[in-house]
Amino acid sequence: SGKTTSCTKLAYYYKKKGWKVGLVCADTFRAGAFDQLKQNATKAKIPFYGSYTESDPAVIAEDGVRQFREQKFEIIIVDTSGRHKQEAALFQEMQMVAKVSAPDEVIFVMDSSIGQAARLQAEAFQEAVDVGSVIITKLDGHAKGGGALSAVAATKSPI
């Protein structure tokens, strides 16, 4: 749905505003996720953390966040695996990542093409973690932007 790209774009935005930003790749599910984040972060000149060997995303998130906090980074963005509302184990994983990284903000990233199904997905996320905002990707490719309104309504978050 564009989570990794969105993380990099958000990091780049804050970097351009003068913040010290780091990216953590805690997506151990999707093959190539760390490579993608590494390539994007390198191109944008944003420090990043990830692992080719650690399979537990909570461990990676905890280690990466700790490293960046020790180096006095002001904004740390943790990229996690995509998940569907019926994947209970992945929601438990997301809760563990949130617990160890203690985020100030949880952003629900959704693909605009899911349309009205966004509401159920957003509600499932909101039940698992405290969603603070929503990023909608790929709005340029679909006429299903109405799902954005459903996601915002379900999470009571700004868009």
- Model confidence at 97, pLDDT cuts 50, 70, 90, reads very high
Report d(CA 122, CA 31) in Å as an integer: 25
Average pLDDT in the 2-13 region? 94
CA atoms within 13 A on the CB side of 102: 4
10 Å Cβ neighbour count for 33? 20
Amino acid at 88: A
Residue 102 has pLDDT above 90, yes or no: yes
The backbone region for 107, taken as left when phi is positive above 0, alpha when psi lies in -120 to 50, beta otherwise, is beta
Q: Who has greater pLDDT, 143 or 1?
A: 1
Largest CA distance in the chain: 44
Q: pTM here?
A: 0.84
Q: Who has greater pLDDT, 87 or 104?
A: 104
Q: What integer pLDDT is reported at residue 148 of this predicted model?
A: 66
pLDDT in tens, 70-81: 999 999 999 998
The residues with which 134 forms a beta bridge, in sequence order, are 108
